[in-house]
Amino acid sequence: MELYDNEIAAKVAEQLLQIEAIRLQPEKPFTWASGWKSPIYCDNRLSLSYPEVRTYIKSGLIKAIQENFKDVEAIAGVATAGIPQGALLADGLNLPFIYVRSKAKGHGMENMIEGKVTKGQKVVVVEDLVSTGGSSLKAVQDLKNAGFEILGMVAIFTYGFEVAKRNFEDANVKLICLSNYSAMLPQALAKDYIDDETLASLVEWRKAPETWQGYR
């Protein structure tokens, strides 16, 4: 798990906070499907409604792909939030686009992958958000099973969990992110979304999200 560029990471974090794609509520934490209590909610789909933010993110991801995955032949989005981001990148790079469902379609052709399947094609996978990496890496495996060669993955934001880092290392998948939790915290403090005391609680969550119970 790598950050593409520190300056871009700070700018993307600032933009996501500004449009409320990232919300921080340590005093009233969100509950994830896993049962974890979380002081942060990240919905990068909101960036699609802001042309300036959308364009900045698209530009950053295109640069990350061009510099890290020069041999890319197609872009694959992960359903659902990775689909529009991936389509934007494929258009910007003038490359074919496909997307991966979370499960096979229940009727018609019953496809897991939508778009033209070309075995051996070199693909970069696009995600909007990476948490533990489970669903992202499942999409990678589905693409491999269909015969694609996976060069790596790009994402807008990651929480930077150690479990995600291990999962991507174990799967031998290179992940390049535009921004992450560590880059976001200084921006949140500088723009007065949080204070020093709240920052300490947010740092503690990042260390042990599975046991963190909220800010008191």
Residue 38 annotated as lining a ligand binding site: no
| 148 and 121 Cβ atoms separated by less than 8 Å | yes
Residue 134 annotated as lining a ligand binding site: yes
pLDDT one-digit tens code per residue, 164-190: 999 999 999 999 999 999 999 999 999
Q: In this structure, which topology does domain 2-194 adopt according to CATH?
A: Rossmann fold (3.40.50)
Rounded to two decimals, the pTM is 0.94
| 209: number of Cβ within 10 Å | 20
Residue 191 annotated as lining a ligand binding site: no
Pairing of strands 122-130, 149-158: parallel
Where would I find the H helices in the chain?
6-18, 51-68, 82-93, 134-145, 162-171, 181-190, 196-207
pLDDT one-digit tens code per residue, 22-73: 999 998 999 987 788 999 999 999 999 999 999 999 999 999 999 999 999 9
Closest CA to 37 of 204, 188, 156, 205: 205
Residue 130 annotated as lining a ligand binding site: yes
Answer whether residue 115 shows pLDDT above 60. Answer: yes
